[in-house]
């Protein structure tokens, strides 16, 4: 009976782990989608505002032309016809023709701008609706992941297995201070592009201590482009923590570390921390005791 129960628990752990892994992957894909929609929403909103401003300017010009046309309606056309010189008469006709074409093109252009504005507002509403749907989808996925993790934590305790998941909510942050950017999607409004943060970005002060978030083994220590010196620690149950933009003193590959061991110090550049489960970056927000 105990053997059957153990097999059942093992099966449940494996099934829940597979579900978690799939959810973590889907959450990252949903974040990618959210970033893209958010960028399209920003661009469309900017286009609508520019169109509204352009239409206001065009309306002023049209009002000026309307007043000019009103004046022409009261013009004494007999005076135009009284010229004996055919060349002068032909010139005046050309002027009138040009004025009419110019006014007609102004009104056509205004009409097209109004049509573009109406479509822009429709697109804007569609993007807002799509963004709301993606946010709801993301929240549902995160809620399901939390539920799966709770189940697996209970099963891991039953099996007496080690996992970094058992430290969730109890870990200390990798360094002091507030993260300036957290896990999620952002947009650069000045340059109009979307970007994703797969972990935590700190504005590092030179020499600030960097701590191990959990027990594990150093599996990577090297310099990588942009970030400089970087450490990766492997934890139980296929979890990994990444520390970039640091200065390591004595740690080397295969060294074992305990939670809150000092790994390195920050340099003048930003310090970046990432938590992964298998190959998937995961949101570290609820893993720490401190508020991020």
Average pLDDT over residues 159-185: 90
Average pLDDT over residues 224-250: 93
**Confidence class of residue 229 from pLDDT cuts 50, 70 and 90?**
very high
Please give the pLDDT value at position 53: 92
Check whether 257 has a pLDDT greater than 80: yes
The answer for residues whose C-beta is within 8 angstroms of residue 292's C-beta and 6 or more apart is 173, 178, 179, 182, 200, 284, 285
CB-CB contact of 261 with 212 (8 Å): yes
**Confidence class of residue 281 from pLDDT cuts 50, 70 and 90?**
very high
Evaluated on CA atoms 71, 77, 79, 83, the torsion sign reads positive
The Cβ-side half-sphere exposure at 103, using a 13 Å CA radius, reads 15
The answer for residues whose C-beta is within 8 angstroms of residue 78's C-beta and 6 or more apart is none
Cross-strand pairs, 264: 210, 248
Please give the pLDDT value at position 226: 85
Chain center to CA of 269: 22
Please give the pLDDT value at position 191: 63
Q: How far apart are CA 106 and CA 72, in angstroms?
A: 17
Please give the pLDDT value at position 261: 95
Q: What is the CA radius of gyration of the chain?
A: 33
Query: What share of the chain in percent tops pLDDT 90?
Result: 48
Among 66-75, 89-98, 279-288, the range scoring the smallest mean pLDDT is: 89-98
The model's pLDDT over 99-137, given as tens digits with 9 standing for 90+, comes to: 567 667 777 887 888 899 999 999 999 999 999 999 999
Among 10-14, 171-175, 201-205, 280-284, the range scoring the smallest mean pLDDT is: 10-14
Closest alpha carbon to 243 in 261, 225, 231, 258: 231
Check whether 279 has a pLDDT greater than 70: yes
Structure tokens at 184: 């999620």
Q: How far apart are CA 29 and CA 144, in angstroms?
A: 16
Evaluated on CA atoms 190, 195, 200, 202, the torsion sign reads negative
Return the top range by mean pLDDT from 75-79, 247-251, 258-262.
258-262
Residue 264: its H or E element: strand 262-266
Please give the pLDDT value at position 101: 72
Side by side, the strands of the sheet bearing 262-266 are: 209-211, 262-266, 246-248
Q: How far apart are CA 80 and CA 93, in angstroms?
A: 9
Average pLDDT over residues 188-210: 82
The model's pLDDT over 6-59, given as tens digits with 9 standing for 90+, comes to: 444 454 546 667 788 899 999 999 998 998 898 899 889 999 999 999 988 888
Q: How far apart are CA 236 and CA 225, in angstroms?
A: 28
Please return the burial class of 24, using the count of CB atoms within 10 Å of its CB with bins 0-12, 13-18 and 19+: buried
Backbone φ and ψ of 256, nearest 5°: -95, 140
CB-CB contact of 232 with 219 (8 Å): yes
């Amino acid at each position: 009976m105990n053997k059957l129960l153990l097999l059942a628990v093992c099966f449940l752990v494996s099934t829940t782990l597979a579900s978690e892994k799939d959810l973590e992957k889907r959450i990252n894909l949903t974040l990618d989608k959210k970033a893209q929609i958010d960028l399209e929403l920003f661009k469309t909103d900017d286009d609508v505002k520019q169109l509204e401003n352009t239409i206001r300017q065009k309306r002023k010009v049209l009002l000026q032309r309307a007043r000019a046309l009103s004046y022409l309606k009261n013009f004494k056309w007999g005076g135009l016809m009284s010229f004996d010189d055919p060349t002068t008469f032909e010139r005046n006709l050309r002027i009138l023709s040009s004025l009419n074409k110019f006014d007609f093109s102004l009104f056509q252009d205004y009409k097209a701008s109004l049509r573009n504005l109406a479509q822009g507002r429709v697109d804007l509403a569609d993007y807002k609706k799509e963004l709301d749907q993606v946010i709801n989808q993301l929240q549902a996925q995160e809620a399901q992941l939390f539920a799966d993790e709770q189940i697996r934590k209970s099963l891991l305790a039953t099996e007496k297995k080690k996992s970094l998941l058992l430290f969730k909510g109890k870990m200390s942050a990798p360094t002091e201070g507030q993260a300036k950017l957290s896990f999620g999607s952002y947009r650069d409004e000045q340059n109009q592009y979307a970007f994703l943060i797969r972990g935590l970005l700190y504005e590092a002060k030179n020499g600030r201590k960097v701590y191990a978030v959990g027990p594990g083994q150093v599996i990577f220590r090297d310099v990588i482009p942009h970030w400089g010196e970087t450490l990766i620690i492997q934890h139980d149950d296929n979890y990994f923590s990444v520390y970039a933009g640091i200065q390591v003193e004595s740690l080397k590959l295969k060294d074992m570390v305990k939670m809150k061991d000092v790994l390195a110090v920050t340099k003048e550049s930003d310090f970046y921390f990432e938590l992964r489960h298998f190959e998937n970056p995961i949101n570290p927000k609820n893993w720490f005791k401190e508020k991020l």
